[in-house]
Amino acid sequence: MSAPTIDELPVRVDFSDPSVRRRRRRRVLVVVAVALLAGAVAWLVLFSSVLAVSSVRVVGVDGVAAEQVLATATVPTGVPMVRVDTSAIQSRVTALPWLEAVEVRRGWPNEIVLAVSARVPIAVLKGTSSVVDASGFAFEALGAAPRELPSVSADGVGLEAAMAVLAGLPADLAAKVDSVRATTRDDVTMTLRSGAEVRWGRAEQADFKAEVLKALMKRKRDIYDVSAPELPTTFTAR
């Protein structure tokens, strides 16, 4: 059996050496200091009022709409920021049907920000007090619906198609629409404020159909059919 080498011999530390004791004390002090600092930070973040919610701000809407968002959010004040359940707040605010998107974020050190986006109604659902946005989503408007909105008679896929057509119209043409109806994706029909009827058909080729319709409207007719924009037709009631 071979004799142990120098590297294999056990190392003995002389704890009576003052330099050793100083190093040990420094290490202990560092550990204690880190622990105290971590505890202080944890207390500051989790329990102290220094980083507690003191204000709530709504971004994206104002007036009555902002007041309703605040009332629905019920954000607790005086609670440390990290303990606020932003997911629960977002769920409550998202339940407002006239909102399209909701984001709840912390604005350090003391503010909760509610960033919302309201749905934009483009038609009134005929026979109801509901309005409809471009996606075909029907909801109760916050306050009175704009009087200039056209009415829509449709549901299901017909409603989606009608709103796709209405949303895709140029602004000057959309302003002339009094009502729109559809039972399928293929039979969207509009009535203009002049009383003329526009047989639009499917939502596809919207730009082309709009250009053709504008050209046809230079002559007064009772019916404009642009469902096949390559071969448009017009009719005059007898």
Report the SS3 class of residue 199.
strand
Contact 113, 105 (CB under 8 A): yes
Mean residue pLDDT of the chain comes to 87
Domain ranges of the chain: 51-118, 121-235
| CATH class, range 121-235 | alpha beta
b/e sequence 157-185, b meaning 16+ C-beta within 10 Å = ebbbbbbbbbbbbeeebbebbebbbbbeb
- In one-letter notation, the amino acid at residue 120 is V
Q: What is the tens place of the pLDDT at every residue in 202-236?
A: 999 999 999 999 999 999 999 999 999 999 999 99
| % of the chain residues with pLDDT over 70 | 79
User: Per 3-state DSSP, what percentage of the chain is helix, strand, and coil (rounded to 5)?
Assistant: 35, 25, 40
pLDDT at 6 over 60: no
H helix runs in the chain, sequence order = 18-46, 63-73, 86-94, 156-168, 171-174, 206-216
pLDDT at 40 over 70: no
- Going 208 to 213 to 216 to 221, the CA torsion angle's sign is positive
Tell me the β-bridge partners of 57: 113
- The reported pLDDT for the residue numbered 14 is 53
Alpha-carbon distance of 116 to 139, in angstroms, equals 16
Closest CA to 150 of 142, 169, 158: 169
CATH of domain 51-118: 3.10.20.310
Phi and psi (nearest 5°) for 198?
-120, 115
- The reported pLDDT for the residue numbered 26 is 73
